[in-house]
Amino acid sequence: MSDLIANIGFLQQGPFAIPRWEALFSNIDLLWQGTIVTLTVASLGLALALVLGTVLGVMAASHWRVPRAFTRAYVEFYQNTPLLIQVFMIFNALPMVFSGLFIPVITIGILGVGMYHGAYISEVVRAGIQSIGRGQLEAALSQGFTYVGAMRYIIIPQAMRIVLPPLTNQAVSLIKNTSVIAIIAGGDLMYAGDAFAGRFGHYGPTYVIVGLGYFLMCFPLAMLARRLEDRTRVL
Amino acid sequence: MIELVDVSKHFGHLKALRHVDLEVPAGQKLVIIGPSGSGKSTLIRCVNMLEKPSSGRVIVDGVELTALRAPVAKVRQSVAMVFQSFNLYPHKTVLENVALAPIVVCGVKKEQATEAALTYLKRVGLSDKADKYPAQLSGGQQQRVAIARALNMHPKIMLFDEPTSALDPEMIQEVLEVIIDLAQGGITMVVVTHEMGFAKEAADRVVFMDEGRIIEDGTPEHFFENPQHDRTKLFLSKILR
Ligand SMILES: Nc1ncnc2c1ncn2[C@@H]1O[C@H](COP(=O)(O)OP(=O)(O)OP(=O)(O)O)[C@@H](O)[C@H]1O
Ligand SMILES: [Mg+2]
């Protein structure tokens, strides 16, 4: 058995050699800390994106001109500039505008992915609302519901079934996109991996394990999306 | 109860309503008849402001709805509408459909609204369907649920926009019977319909619309036996063959 392993060249030397794996696993708590930061940023960022996306989506589907124009501008800005530059701006430009302002890394990450994916989610929500027939809104309004009340009790619950699969896809890309904070501010799983790999040169095992970490966070959501999609097809 | 003063409605270049004046006293059962595209739906939808008039005034139950910042949602609570395509809430059960707005919009207690909902479902003959979803019901049953939903708001006015036009012929009667029964009570009713039998039996007054105008206005007897306009005669001769 050990003969067999001894003969597998790439475990003896090169980027995936066994000593590199050993070094990684003895320092695994570094990656673990990064994972916790990433999970925090991802979950709070997702919460922000969902709230923002729902509010903006409802505004975008309304007949109120000013809120509609505002959401349009917001969405176009966030969808057509790279997330990296947006995060850079939050990190560097905001403290210049409000001098002395210190924004913790985690907050930068949450704002970054939250506002970026909020734009995408608002488009998903808008499309979902618009897919519900006009008669539903009219029925609700004719009973004395306000526009917001009609959205809350009648339209959004129905749009939810249609919107859940694309929403889950957004959650998955949000998790992966938390990794941009590695480049700007640091602290997350990607950054922890970069830092460790850069210090000792153990790139191979580090990126395998970091990649696996992201996979384990995203895959359950992707599975959920598939399940929901199957269910909405039956409905 | 309802007063339209010089109401016009334009969709782009198209004039769906042209200077319509109409006054409906409390308790009246008014039937609106007219060819397709004559503006019947637009007119009835102006009453609860689902369609905003381009000009003119709409006054319902003493409130001018066309005024700036009029309490439109508040007034709509007492102006129920029944749609051609039912528009039941598909994600709610029949009982929830009937009880939801009283609870959420009017603040009625849940038990009370549910109890009243069951009473109205019984009245339209559907107590046994309370826990079904709209999709599990026939068209006629759905429309009767929609009527129960409207009644549970305890409206002063009920608006019907072709309530039987989307139904298979064998279901029209069951819905008409419910509406005729309602017409015995004191609610003010405005009904757009092609059912001449209903107009004869239940209406106090019939108006005939053509090209965005009311061109005939009178009792059912007057309308069917002694119409004034050639346009009305032509319409009647086509429909009452
Ligand atoms: N939202 C709208 N946008 C543009 N045009 C409209 C709209 N609603 C109605 N119209 C037009 O206004 C005119 C009157 O329509 P309305 O629906 O009031 O007619 P109707 O008498 O109810 O006809 P029907 O018997 O077919 O229901 C029609 O020419 C119609 O095409
Ligand atoms: Mg119509």
DSSP string, B15-76: EEEEEEEEEE-TT-EEEEE--TTSSHHHHHHHHTTSS--SEEEEEETTEETTSTT--HHHHH
Contacts of A25 (CB under 8 A, 6+ apart): none
CA distance, residue A166 to nearest chain B CA (Å): 20
Q: Do A144 and B48 touch (CB under 8 A)?
A: no
* pLDDT score of A18: 81
Q: What is the pLDDT of residues A2-57, one digit of tens each?
A: 666 666 777 777 777 787 888 778 888 888 888 999 999 999 999 999 999 999 99
The domain that holds A99 is classified in CATH as 1.10.3720.10
User: Which ligand is the nearest neighbour of the Cα of B17?
Assistant: 1
pLDDT band at A232 (very low <50, low <70, confident <90, very high): low
Q: What is the pLDDT of residues A117-157, one digit of tens each?
A: 999 999 999 999 999 989 999 999 999 999 999 999 999 98
The parent domain of residue A103 ranges over 28-234
Two tokens, residue A185 = 């501010």
In a domain, A191, yes or no: yes
Q: What is the pLDDT of residues B149-204, one digit of tens each?
A: 999 999 999 999 999 998 988 889 899 999 999 999 889 999 999 888 888 888 99
The domain tally of chain A equals 1
**CA B68 – CA B64 distance, rounded (Å):** 9
In a domain, A15, yes or no: no
In a domain, A200, yes or no: yes
Cross-chain CB nearest to A157 (options B91, B101, B153): B91
CB A108 within 8 A of CB A185: yes
B87 to chain A: which residues are within 8 Å by CB? 133, 135-136, 138-139
Please state the atom number of ligand 1 nearest to the C-alpha of residue B84.
27
In a domain, A212, yes or no: yes
CB B232 within 8 A of CB B216: yes
In a domain, A106, yes or no: yes
**pTM for the model:** 0.82
In a domain, A165, yes or no: yes
C-alpha to C-alpha distances, A143 to A5, B117, B150, B161, B164, nearest whole angstrom: 74, 15, 8, 15, 20
Q: Counting beta carbons within 10 angstroms of the beta carbon of residue B166, is it exposed (0 to 12), middle (13 to 18) or buried (19 or more)?
A: middle
- CA angle B22/B24/B26 to nearest 5° reads 165
Two tokens, residue B116 = 């009243």
Q: Do B77 and A157 touch (CB under 8 A)?
A: no
* Nearest partner of A129 among A47, A66, A68, A79, judged by Cα: A68
Q: Among B4, B20, B40, B161, which is best to mutate for testing ligand 1, by the most ligand atoms less than 8 A from CB?
A: B40
User: Which ligand is the nearest neighbour of the Cα of B15?
Assistant: 1
In a domain, A83, yes or no: yes
In a domain, A5, yes or no: no
Q: Do B76 and A143 touch (CB under 8 A)?
A: yes
Q: Do A143 and B88 touch (CB under 8 A)?
A: no
